[in-house]
Amino acid sequence: MELSIIASGSNGNCYLLQSGKTSVLFDAGKSCRETAERMAALGKDIREVKGIVLSHAHGDHYRGIGPIARRLGIPVYVRKPVYLACRQGLGPVDVRHFEDAFRIGDLEILPIETSHDVASCGFVVGRFGIFTDTGCVTVQMREIISDLDAVLIESNYDERMLKTGPYPLHLKERIASDRGHLSNEDASDFIRRYGDHLSQVFLAHLSETNNSADKVRETFESFNEDRPYVVCSRFRQTGTFRIA
Ligand SMILES: [Zn+2]
Ligand SMILES: [Zn+2]
């Protein structure tokens, strides 16, 4: 299976998974045009995408979905409460609801419980996990990680930068809560405790205001020494990676 990180960060998230003849986008928080351009820069053709899977109803995850789905004539896979929360924003699309494991072509997709301020989920596809937008490590995340070879996990904010930064108090509290986002420390500690066997770690969904790639690196290396990892770029496509 191949992972292409098209966009990652609080300004837009989009991941492409490809296996055999199946290409699927997970979230699409950038415009149709920017998504297509970033994919082309990685040698990928957006017209090969067979479906889009949505994790939750925040604009940085669904903003591009309506236009992409209509342009390509492809279905959107979404849990019912998530669809109800963003149906206006999606506009008319071919909706397929899921609750449990489902299949798109060669990809077997398992939703995983996350903890956010709206209905949300992560995903396990094969031996790869996508865990973003969660204020804490859920029991299901902790249990399933032993079955995985590769994980893309949110490393959203530096705890000190959030505390001393410009956000209003209520927003700081929301982000740091169990239904907000994972800090660099949370993500690095999760990998140190439970991810010793992983062959690939992608640190994702960095905040613009409360984080930097340097802070992510510094924290991850202090917890995990010389373990290899990739920090996903907020500014451009990060790359294509062969994963389990
Ligand atoms: Zn997000
Ligand atoms: Zn979110």
How many A from CA of 94 to the centre of ligand 2? Answer: 23
**What is the DSSP secondary structure assignment for residue 156, as one 8-state letter?**
-
CA 121/CA 77 separation, integer angstroms: 12
CA 58–ligand 1 middle distance (angstroms): 6
- 4: CA distance to ligand 1 center in Å? 18
Which ligand is nearest the CA of 27, by number?
1
Residue 204, pLDDT score: 98
Q: Print pLDDT tens along the chain (244 aa).
A: 999 999 999 999 999 999 999 999 999 999 999 999 999 999 999 999 999 999 999 999 999 999 999 999 999 999 999 999 999 999 999 999 999 999 999 999 999 999 999 999 999 999 999 999 999 999 999 999 999 999 999 999 999 999 999 999 999 999 999 999 999 999 999 999 999 999 999 999 999 999 999 999 999 999 999 999 999 999 999 999 999 7
- Closest ligand relative to 179 C-alpha: 2
Q: What was the pLDDT predicted at 244?
A: 72
Tell me which ligand sits closest to the C-alpha of residue 204.
1
Which distant-in-sequence residues (6+ apart) come within 8 Å of 139 by Cβ?
113
- Residues 198, 183: Cα–Cα separation, whole Å: 20
| Domain positions in the chain | 2-236
Looking at residue 68, its pLDDT comes to: 98
Cα–Cα distance measured from residue 229 to residue 91, given in angstroms and rounded to the nearest whole number: 37
Question: Separation of 102 CA from ligand 1 center, angstroms?
Answer: 23
Write out 95-134 in H/E/C secondary structure: EEECCCCEEECCEEEEEEECCCCCCEEEEEECCEEEECCC
**Which-ligand-closest: CA of 29?**
1
pLDDT score for 122: 98
Which ligand is closest in space to the CA of residue 114? 2
Between the CA of 5 and the centroid of ligand 2 the distance, in Å, is 17
Which residues make Cβ contacts (< 8 Å) with residue 166, sequence separation at least 6?
209
Fold of 2-236: Metallo-beta-lactamase; Chain A (3.60.15)
Question: Residue 179 has what pLDDT?
Answer: 98
What pLDDT does 40 receive?
A: 98
pLDDT of residue 28: 98
- The ligand that comes nearest to the alpha carbon of residue 135 is 2
